[in-house]
Structures are given as structure tokens and as C-alpha cells.
Structure 1
Amino acid sequence: MFALFQGGCLAALFLTHLRGQENTINQMMILISAGSFAVSVAFMIWVYFQLDVRRTAHERSESRIREIFESNPNALILCDSRGRIQMVNRETEELFGFSREALVGEPIEILVPQDRRDHHKRHVEKFFEDPEKRNMGEGWDLGGRHASGEEFPVSVGLTPIMMPEGLCTLAAVIDISDRVEAEEEIKRSNRELEQFAYVASHDLKSPLRGVAQLVEWITEKLQGDEDEELKRYLELLGSRVDRMQVMLNSLLEYSRAGRREDRLEEVDANQLVQSISESLAPMNGWTVRIDRSLPVLITQQSALSQVFHNLIGNAIKHHDRDTGEIAVSALDNGAFCEFSVYDDGPGIRPEFHERIFGMFQTLRPRDEVEGSGMGLSLVKKLVEQQGGVIRIESDPAQARGTCFRFTWPREVECRRSA
């Protein structure tokens, strides 16, 4: 009986370590009730050390998680389903100027500007209706509020996390003030460029028209004059004036590329390319093959038309023969279509592949080719504004021909031409 009493007392001492371990307690009490004091003590010692090992492992795991949480370079905020802050890291304290003691337990709106808090609450409610991971930049660019009252732009990424207390949200926040400032600077630069292009288009073209008119008058005055050298100089002067006007028009077109807010519409690329090729290709000796797989897109027709117009026009203009072949095709590339425009011309050496996309760049002397040298630069700008890329495949040392490949967004899932 005394042994049983001792076993019972030791059991009581260990109950606090076995809280929540119902099966273990039941097993221990069975042993005690059987009067096996030695086995009971040995079993309780074993359980104690097992719990200690588990507790140590849990503490280490929790410590490691907190280290990762604290060392993250972004501000991290853990909120419960009511939008109340449960945990923040050091970056959050530095970014918003609040101590973690002042934040934990408070609604997340404490970090949101006053005039945006109602809107933010609706954001939170909408998120918990459909709790899916949302990366930064996916429509969650908001405003942050510093403890001083200063407001600043932030980008927020959200990740739903299931915790013991229920569904929570881990928000990663970064200050995007530098990005916003850079974007504003780009906008200012674009406005200045457009203003410059306007000046170039009007103020510079006006004296050019005057020079062209003078050349025309002098030429008329020299009718019947046998000074052929003077006539040749006047023709050269006239051609230079015409080229300058073309360059000014191209500069204006480049500055405005992608800035027109044309409406989105259904564009059948097959019909578009067919129309462009008929307007550009000479009637005799030229073949333009159009793959029937060209897709139907939802896009701005004017931008896509400019791209094809310049690529097909370049293929014809820079061909070294009076006859030739151009082939236009497309590949399905997920959210984008990859278009190819191939010609069987002389080709472009690899060392010039980057240069040809520069402004006012031509590979032949300007007296030998018409144009401003802005065509491919304009193409590159339009493609990249759509989120696409353009590249060239050509090596005259291996074979004739040049192929321009560029990607263009579908915008929506679209059918193909029949």
C-alpha cells in the first residue's frame, strides 16, 4: 500500500508535464493501479524525458521560424481573420515607425492612411472570401502610414496561412517610393520628348518647307540653262530636304508610339497581314506567303499594324534582288503569340543584330536607301510596350535570308482564323 501511495504521489507530480497527453496518462494510471511502483516510476521518467526532448525540438523550431521571420528583408505582418495584427518583424517597425508592442492586437488599418481605411477593409473582406496567394504588384499597390503621419506608397503581397487559431494572412510589404518616383520621372521625360517632337514637327519643318520651295523656284529659273552640275547640286539639295522631313516625321511617330489610347478590338492577324502585303509588295516578282494559323487577337490594331508594316516594308526595301519571297507565320506561346516574318534577302551579319534596332540606323549608305532608319527602332518599342520581345535570326555566312521573331499578347483566349 505504501508503494502504491508513493507511486500515486509521483504521478501527481508529473501530471503537469502530461497535460493534453490523455493516452499516456491512462497508461500510467493503469500501471499505478496495478501496484507496480518500480515500473510506474521508470515509465514516468521515460515520459518526462520524451516530453523534454519534444519541448526542446519545438522551441528550437519556433526559434528558427522567428529567426527567418525577423531576418526577412521585407516588412512581414501576420494578421488573423479579423484583420488584427498577431506578429510583426523588425522591418515592419523600421518601415512604419511603430514598435511591435504598439502594433500587436491592433487592426491592420492602423498602418493605412485614414482616407483609405474603409476601402482597405473591403480589400481584406474580399481576400478572406477567396484566400489565395497574391504576389506583389497584382493589384495590391496601396498607401502606408508612418507613425509620424507621413504617407508613402507600398506594394503588398498576401499569403494565406492556417494557424492553430484559424486562417491567418501573412502580408509582405515594401516601400515603392523610389519606383513611383522613377515612373513619374519617365512620364515627365515622355512629356518632354513629345513636346520636343511637336517642336521638331512644326518649327523645324517650316524652314525646311521654305528651303524646298526655294530649290523649286531656282530650278524653274534655270530652265534652259546648260549648267548640268548646278542642276545636280539642286537635285541633291532637294533630296536632302526630303530626307530631313522624313526623319522629322519618323521622330514624331516614334515619340507617340504606344501613347495613343486606341480601343481594344478583335484583330484577325491573317486579314491584317494580307492587307499590308498587298499595299507594299510590288505586283510582279514578289510572293508573300501567309500561314493560315495566324491568330485572332484582342489588341490595338494600329500598333500591331505598324509592326507588320515596318517589318514587311523593310524586307522589300532592303532586298538585293528584283524578286523575292516573304513568309509570315505564328506559333502558340501560351499567353503570347510568337510571330515570324522571314525574307530570302541577303541577310544581316550577326555583329549588326543589335545595331539595327537603334534610332536612325541603316546598314547601307543613306544615298542608296530610302527611309529614316527609325523603322526597326519603332518596331522594338511597340513590341516591348506590349510586354513582348523581338529578336533576329540571320547569318549570311551560313545561308541567305533574315527572320524577325516577336511576341505579342493575346489579351484573351482567342479563336484562330479558319
Structure 2
Amino acid sequence: MSSEDIEILKRAIQREKLARKQAEKILEDKSRELYLITQELKETNEKLEEQVGTKESELQGVFDNLLDAYVRMDIFGNVLEMNYAARNLFGYDIAEEKLNVVKLIYKEDYKYAMTSFQELVTKGSFSDYQARVYTKENGIRTVHINASLIYDKNKTPIGAQGIVTDITEELKQKQIFEEQKKQLSVIVENSSLGIVLAQFGKIVQTNKAFQNLLGYTAEELLKKEVKDISIKDEYEAVAENLEKMNTGIIDSFSVNKRYIKHNGYSFWAKTNIAAVRDHDGNIKYQVAFIEDITEQLKVEKQRDQLVKNLEKTNQELKDYAHIVSHDLKSPLRSINALVNWIKEDHVDTLDKTGVHHFTMIENTLEKMETLINNILSYSSVSNKENLQTKEIDLNILIDDIKNIILIPDHIKVAIKKKLPVINGDTTRIQQLFQNLIGNAVIYTDKEIGKIEIDYEDKKTHHLFSIKDNGVGIKKEHHEKIFKMFQSVGDNENSSGIGLAIVKKIIDLYEGDIWLESKLGKGTTFYFTLKK
């Protein structure tokens, strides 16, 4: 081998060594790169596994805490998974017993269930499925189901899943609501009051009574606003309250206003308007209840006029009583004076019969004056304008009355229990007790007369009684004795007005009076005065 060949061989070996080194370096770099990629893939895979685990945990939490029941089954209907809500609804625990959804289908809904299942298979899902199901412990329940198929990676169906909502109670409440709605509708339609539902002044619903009041059909009223059937000035006054209602200041108000009928005439109505609000307190509707008060107002106007006329008549009667009494008293006094003059001038010439006749004339004149005074008292006793209310000690009042009226020595007036201090008009209260005590004195016929005054404190009234041991009063006279000129018996000292005055005073103080009596034994008058 020549030196030239050797040199060529050396250079070839040199090139081979260099190429081998280059190859080794490339292999080393690739190995290092592969190692780094492997490490990176490992770290990424670990992160993915961690994220998957987290998501699985989160999904499991969502799954377990769903308020609605969740069910997963295989293609044959065998239940593979149920959340807590599903176990609670159906009453089964698939960890302890197997369950196929066919077992849950209510027999009368079986055909509908198979149709829905076929829809699930062909379309991949169904929604708004509503049917009854059997449960283990909760009886028959009505449920709403949304379901979808589960596929493998080759798009082959391997099962199904569904969200099941128990709507049994919801349907019951809806049924109750619909029933109540029907009942309310019947009440509204048959109400004697006109009822209007309005929204921002626009009529949206009316009942038959309101349609009849105005003479419009329901359809005609739906085309109108409230202002179209109202008097302009009156509607503007109502609008102020409606604005307060809209701003939440008030929830209801009442007003008397006129409505314009279809024929152009109007009528007065009492209108009660109330707000119907949403959950946020905003106005949704106004509901109005309308009552025709046209006739009522006419009656009230007539009544007011009658009251005015009655007041005028009463005043005229009072004036007449005063005028007549004044005109009667003057000639009576003149006659009495003339009788006294004649009696005094002829005292020496008159015999006993003549003196007796003059005495009878004097007694008659005195009785007539007493009668006139009693009539005046009766006419003015119920006049509240003259009342002067103050505290009255009845114990002192009774002592004063004993000194005013003539009580014979054989009659004793006794107070059984200390009497109260009451509020009232002294003159009226004195008239009341004086007339009753005086009446008892007049009709006491026993050798030893007894008049007893007693008292009992009631919740809202004072209860008094005045008892005597006199002649008594027949049962049939118990009512009439409180009327004018209706005295019992022929006692010349009775004017027949005293008990009528008593009745008017008791009425003035919102009380009542009654009596118990036995002929020959005596009478007890009971009466009350409001505190």
C-alpha cells in the first residue's frame, strides 16, 4: 500500500470519526430533548389529572346537592346512579337493591311513557315529560322529566340521564288556586257592587253589576279609560289620590263621585279604590268597588231637610210654650189677685161656704200655675245647649230636695247606701230625683211611709232605685205613666207630667227606666244614667 493510499485511508477514518461524533452529538441532543419533552408531558399529565380530579369532585358536589332528582341508567333502563334527591323521592338505594325505571312507571301512563322513551331513542332527548310514578314510600307522585342519551366515543348510545322534578304539590296548589279563582270570579260576577280593574287609568276588566250601572257591554268598557266615564273636575280630584297611591304614600282611599252612563246621564257612587302591587311594591292594577248611592243621597238630603224642619218646629214649639205660658200666667195672676181682693174686702160678709169656694178657686189657680211650669220644664228639659255639666254630690242633692218638697212627718226618706258623685247638669238631675221622690210621697197611703233610695255601680252606667210602700201601680199602666198627662189614680197633687220629665232626662243621659210594683204593697223605680 503506497503512502498515498495510507494517507487517503487516514483521511477516511478521520472523516468517519468526525461523522460518528456528529451523530453521537445529534443523538445526545435528541435524547436530551426527548427527556425534557417526557418530563414536560409528565408534569402536564399530572396537572391534568389534578384538574380532572378537581372537576370530578366539583361535579360530584353539584350532582349530590341538586335540589331536583338526577337519575342515570343503562340502555336497558337499569338505574346506575342516583343523587340524594332521587333516593329521597323514589325511596330506593341502588347500593342495596337493583332498580329498573319500568318499575316506577304508573300503569295508566305506561303507553305514554313508552312513546316518550321512543322519542328519547330516536331524537336523543325529550323535555317536558309529565307523568305519574310509583315511589316506595311516598305513594304516587306526579313528576316532570327532562332526559337525554349518553354516547360512547363511537357515538353509540350506552345509557340515558334525566332530571326529575316532583310537581305533585305544585299541581295541588295550582288546582286550589284555580278553584279559588273560579270562586272569586263567581263572587265578582254576582256581586251587587260594581267592580272595575284598571291599569294606569285604562279599564282592563269589569263585572256585570258595573256594566249594568253604566249601560255598557264588557267589550265597550275595555275600549275606555276611567276618565271617559267620569266628570272632569271630579276625576282630577281623584287623580291626586291616585298619584299618592302610585308613589306608595297610600294603598287605598274612598270617594263619592259621579259616573257618566251610556245614555249621557250621571249617577252618584261611593267608590273604594285599592292598589294591587307586585313583589317590589310597584302598582300593577287599581281595583275599584262602586256602589250606586244616588237614592241614598236623596234620602239623606230629605232626612237633613226633615231634621232642619223638625229643629225649626221644636224651636217654634218651645217659643210657643214660653209665649203661651207667659200669656196664661198673666191672667191667672190677675184672677188670683182679684180673688184675694174680693176675699179680703168681703171677709166679714162671707160665710164658710163662700170662703171654701174662694179657697177652691185659689187652689185651682195654684194647680194651673204648677201645670204651666211643668209644661215649660218638659219643653226645655232635653235642650242640650243649656246643659251645665259639673260634679254633683247626690247625698247633698237629696238633702236639699227633702227641704224643698213637703214631706209629711209620717213618711221617712232613707238612703240605704252612700250615693256617688256624678257628672251632670244640677237642674236636670234635681228635677229627676225630685219628681221621683215627690211622686213616691204623693202615692204613699200607709200610716208609716217609707221611701228608700239605693245605688249600684255598673260598668258603664250608674244604677239607682227609689222604693216606696205606697198604693202600687197596675201592670198595664207601667208604660203609659211616662207619657204626658198620664197619671195613675185621681190624686189632685199629680199633674201627669212629672214622670214624663223624668223619662226625658234619663233619655238625655242615655239611660233607661223601669219599675216593679205590687198593688197595695208599693213600687220601686229603677233607672240608669250613663257615666
Report the TM-score when normalising by structure 2: 0.53
Which of 106, 119, 122 is the matching residue for 1:3?
119
Distance 1:354-1:297 versus aligned 2 partners, 3 A rule: same
Task: Give 1:90-239 correspondences, 5 Å limit.
Answer: 146=258, 175=297, 176-239=300-363
Q: CA deviation at 1:111?
A: 6.5
Q: Which residue of 1 is the match for residue 146 of structure 2?
A: 32
Query: 1: CA distance between counterparts of 2:322 and 2:412?
Result: 39
**Cα displacement string for residues 367-408 of structure 1 (whole angstroms, at most 9, x for unaligned residues):** x42242210000101111222221121132xx6121111111
User: Counterpart of 1:384 in structure 2: which amino acid?
Assistant: D
In terms of mean alpha carbon deviation, does 312-321 or 229-238 score higher?
A: 229-238
> What is the CA-CA distance between 1:191 and the residue it aligns to?
0.3
Secondary structure in 2 aligned to 1:246?
helix
Report how far residue 42 of structure 1 moved. Answer: 13
2:529 corresponds to which letter in structure 1?
W
Match for residue 59 of structure 1? 181
Structure with bigger RCO (C-alpha 8 Å, 6+ apart): 1
Q: Report if the CA contact (8 A) 2:455-2:462 is conserved.
A: yes
Please report how far the alpha carbon of residue 198 of structure 1 lies from its aligned counterpart in structure 2 after TM superposition: 1.1
- CA contact 1:266–1:299 (8 Å) conserved in 2: yes
Contact 1:321 1:345 in 2 (8 A): yes
1:387 paired to 2:490: no
Deviation at 1:194, TM superposition (A): 0.5
Letter in 1 for 2:308: E
* Structure 2 CA distance for aligned equivalents of residues 331 and 380 of structure 1: 20
Cα displacement (A) at 1:105: 12
Q: Percent identity?
A: 25
Asked whether the 8 Å contact 1:76–1:92 carries over to 2, the reply is no
Of the three residues 395, 400, 414, the one matched with 2:521 is 400
How far has the Cα of 1:253 moved from its partner? 1.0
**Aligned-pair CA distance for 1:247:** 1.1
1:191-244 CA-to-partner distances (Å, cap 9, x unmatched) read 011011111121121112222222222222322224444443333223222222
2:414 to 256, 272, 289: 289
Contact 1:274 1:290 in 2 (8 A): no
Q: Secondary structure at the match of 1:223?
A: coil
Query: Quick one: distance in 1 between partners of 2:422 and 2:288?
Result: 38
Counterpart amino acid of residue 287 in structure 1: K
- Aligned twin of 1:253: 377
Query: Aligned equivalents of 1:323 and 1:151: distance in 2?
Result: 73
SS of 2:529's equivalent?
Answer: strand
What is the DSSP-based 3-state SS (H/G/I as helix, E as strand, rest coil) of the residue aligned with 1:394?
Answer: strand
Q: Which of 432, 439, 443 is matched with 1:318 structurally?
A: 443
**Equivalent in the alignment of 2:398:** 273
Aligned partner letter, 2:435: N
Match of 2:484 in 1: 359
* 1:405 match: secondary structure: strand
What runs of 5+ residues in structure 1 fail to find an aligned partner? 15-26, 80-85, 119-127, 132-141, 411-418
User: Is residue 454 of structure 2 the alignment partner of residue 329 of structure 1?
Assistant: yes
Unaligned runs of 5+ in 2: 1-116, 131-141, 150-158, 199-204, 241-249, 282-286
2:322 counterpart letter in structure 1: Y
Deviations 1:7-41 (A, max 9, x none): 84445xx8xxxxxxxxxxxx845x4348899x999
**Residue 344 of structure 1 aligns with which residue?**
469
Native 8 Å contact 1:251 1:374 kept in 2:
yes
2:514 is paired with a residue of what secondary structure? strand
Over 3 Å counting, the alpha-carbon distance change for 1:273 and 1:77 in structure 2 is farther
Cα distance in 2 between the residues matched to 1:8 and 1:377: 92
1:22 aligned residue? none
- Give the equivalent residue in structure 1 for 2:366: 242
1:268 partner letter = D
Measured against aligned partners, the alpha-carbon deviations of 1:316-345 in whole angstroms (never above 9, x if no partner) come to: 122113532222222233222222111121
* Local SS of the residue matching 2:432: helix
CA distance in structure 2 between the aligned counterparts of 1:340 and 1:251, rounded to whole angstroms: 26
Residues 135-181 of structure 1 show CA distances to partners (whole Å, capped at 9, x for unaligned) of xxxxxxx99555699999x9x999x9997768x99898864334323
Q: CA deviation at 1:113?
A: 12
**SS at 1:325 equivalent:** strand
Contact 1:319 1:345 (8 Å CA) reproduced: yes
CA 1:286–1:223: 2 relative to 1, 3 Å: closer
Q: For residues 88-129 of structure 1, what are the alpha-carbon distances to aligned partners after superposition, in whole Å with 9 as ceiling and x for unaligned?
A: 99599979xxx997769999x987998xx99xxxxxxxxx89
- Give the conservation status (yes or no) of the 8 Å contact 2:195–2:288: no
TM-score (norm 1): 0.66
Q: 3-state SS of the aligned residue for 2:314?
A: helix
Secondary structure, aligned partner of 1:194? helix
- RMSD of the alignment, in Å? 5.2
Q: Distance in 2 between matches of 1:407 and 1:194?
A: 27
Deviation, structure 1 residue 6: 9.1
Show the counterpart of 2:96.
none
Bigger Rg over Cα: 2
Q: Which amino acid aligns with 2:427?
A: S
- Conserved in 1, the CA contact under 8 Å of 2:143 and 2:164? no
* Range 86-95 or range 306-315, more displaced: 86-95
- Conserved 8 A contact 1:247-1:372: yes
Cα distance in structure 2, aligned partners of 1:92 and 1:331: 59
Q: Structure 1's 9 and 111: CA in aligned 2 closer, same or farther, altered over 3 A? A: same
Q: Which structure is higher in strand share?
A: 2
